[in-house]
Amino acid sequence: MRVSLLLAVALLEASAVFATPSVRGTDFLSSRGLVSKRPNHPIGPHRPGKAFPSSPPRTKTCVVKSHRDGTDDSQNILNAIKDCNNGGHVVFSHGEKYIIGTALDLTFLKNIDLGTSLHFVHIPPIYELNIPADIQGTIQFTNDTAYWQAHAFRQVFQNATTFFQLGGSDVNVYGGGTLDGNGQAWYDLYARDIYILRPILFGTIGLHGGRIEDLNMRYSPQWYNFIANSSDVVFSNISISGYSKSKNTAKNTDGIDTYRSDNIVIQDWHVDNGDDCVSFKPNSTNIVVQNMICNGSHGISVGSLGQYLGEVDIVKNIYVYNVSMSNASDGARIKVWPGISSALSGDLQGGGGLGSVFNITYDTMKISNVDYAIEITQCYGQKNLTLCNQFPSNLTISNVTVRNFKGTTSKKYDPLVGYLVCSSPMVCSNINIENINVKSPSGTSLYTCGSIPGIERQVNCTTKSDG
């Protein structure tokens, strides 16, 4: 048995070297353990209101060849994807490293799986294979910052760009492999010039129906994931990590940001980063986030919203459940720009936009060393609160529930554990804080409150609401 398994590995490697792509029947390769099966992690315990579309089995397999010399493999990847589009499975071979130095527009995909080649998780130890279980490949983007600034795909929100954009219908990506954004060059460059355009590692742009599962994401130059103009997508079992090895911090490394997207599930992630763990950007609707471990982040955030004058931003029907949040600036966070132009930093400014935040639930969060357990602000980017109150936000916040939190905040704002301030009582309503057992290091549970009607009856306010 040991010989036959090793022979199978050798045959797959041969096909990866001598064919680009190598096309074989999916059943043939799957029966020999050479193609990872779709994980299809169950969605739970919560689901959005709409069912997800089915994804039929694939009928052919294309194995991508790596040059194995550090040169660009983008054309080989594109060839395999085109050959296996409309019903195939693209395989990135085990133990291989693929280099991407070309921006790839993959928004034409239909009925396709992108996965890895081997899945030896259940091989008994008696076989003594000299390879680790569940062997996967690595996809690394080049650190040619000049090329990527000129050629990465420009998205329409906050000057976002992506290394590639993946879209279409019925697309599944999985397998346990690693995507490496080669971020160190970007962290150092951004420290010298905050106006550079840093690519996002994984761009899901215009995808309708699909699953992104069982992936490791490392060293993104900016956000790790951006999902835009998409619907009916499940993101399961994603690991995110990657810090700077120099004195220049890796900044704006959000775990995942949703934008103009509907019916999305984000579940079972482990995120070590330096910005929002999850962020719901404008026009994110019917989204479930559950079973998350977030470390070092800025929390699970609604927003920022209202940044662009004249734009209408809507975030509604969001359910966040069962989150472990540690060493973070926030747990649950809603951040809205005021009604007057403001500047958070040289490369992030705005205010005056329209819209609403409606039907948002944060349910069950365990916090440890978090600055604010709960933060609601409509003065994002505006340090002059008097000026913010003179020009209250044009964006309303209503029907928000935060419940079942426990843990301890950091020393940063001790004795405070939260910040609950709207710019006017006219634009915030039905904010409910329930069963919160969070203490500061000194044992208090105090909040800064302002302009939220009835909030002083729910929490211990150091200032009284104007409502």
Answer yes or no: is 467 within a domain. Answer: no
Give the mean pLDDT of 116-145: 51
pLDDT exceeds 50 at position 375 = yes
Give the mean pLDDT of 230-253: 97
- Gap between the Cα atoms of 148 and 42, Å rounded: 37
Q: What is the DSSP letter of 96?
A: -
Give the mean pLDDT of 365-388: 93
Q: What is the dihedral of CA 90, 94, 99, 104, to 10 degrees?
A: 20
- Gap between the Cα atoms of 11 and 8, Å rounded: 5
Domain that holds residue 44: 2-461
Q: What is the DSSP letter of 101?
A: -
Provide the pLDDT confidence category of residue 14 given band limits of 50, 70 and 90: very low
Residue 94 annotated among the catalytic residues of the structure: no
pLDDT exceeds 70 at position 127 = no
pLDDT exceeds 50 at position 297 = yes
pLDDT exceeds 70 at position 219 = yes
Q: pLDDT value at position 36?
A: 74
- Sign (positive/negative) of CA torsion 134, 294, 212, 102? negative
Q: pLDDT value at position 117?
A: 52
Higher pLDDT, 82 or 32: 82
Residue 144 annotated among the catalytic residues of the structure: no
Give the mean pLDDT of 35-43: 86
Give the mean pLDDT of 222-244: 97
Q: pLDDT value at position 34?
A: 59
Provide the pLDDT confidence category of residue 49 given band limits of 50, 70 and 90: confident
pLDDT exceeds 70 at position 50 = yes
Q: pLDDT value at position 37?
A: 83
| % of the chain at pLDDT higher than 90 | 79
Answer yes or no: is 89 within a domain. Answer: yes
Provide the pLDDT confidence category of residue 250 given band limits of 50, 70 and 90: very high
401-451 pLDDT, tens digit per residue, is: 999 999 999 999 999 999 999 999 999 999 999 999 999 999 999 999 999
Answer yes or no: is 184 within a domain. Answer: yes
Find the largest Cα–Cα distance for the chain: 77
User: Residue ranges of the alpha helices (H) in 309-446?
Assistant: 385-390
Q: What is the CATH number of the domain that holds 79?
A: 2.160.20.10
Q: Which amino acid is at 373?
A: A
Instruction: Extract the tokens encoding 107.
Output: 């928004």
Q: Average per-residue pLDDT in the chain?
A: 88
- Gap between the Cα atoms of 283 and 337, Å rounded: 15
Residue among 262, 298, 313, 330 flagged as catalytic: 298
Answer yes or no: is 138 within a domain. Answer: yes
Answer yes or no: is 48 within a domain. Answer: yes
Answer yes or no: is 466 within a domain. Answer: no
Residue among 214, 275, 276, 330 flagged as catalytic: 275
Q: How far is CA 284 from CA 235, 279, 319, 352, 417, in A?
A: 15, 10, 12, 19, 28
pLDDT exceeds 50 at position 6 = no
Q: pLDDT value at position 59?
A: 94
Q: pLDDT value at position 181?
A: 97
State the CB neighbour count (10 A cutoff) for residue 239: 17
157-202 pLDDT, tens digit per residue, is: 889 999 999 999 999 999 888 999 999 999 999 999 999 999 999 9
Answer yes or no: is 52 within a domain. Answer: yes
What total number of domains does the chain contain? 1
pLDDT exceeds 60 at position 464 = no
Instruction: Extract the tokens encoding 243.
Output: 């810090």
DSSP string covering 180-202: E--THHHHHHHHH-TTS-PEESE
| % of the chain at pLDDT higher than 70 | 87
Q: pLDDT value at position 135?
A: 25
- Gap between the Cα atoms of 61 and 90, Å rounded: 6
Answer yes or no: is 434 within a domain. Answer: yes
Site of tokens 């913010």? 388
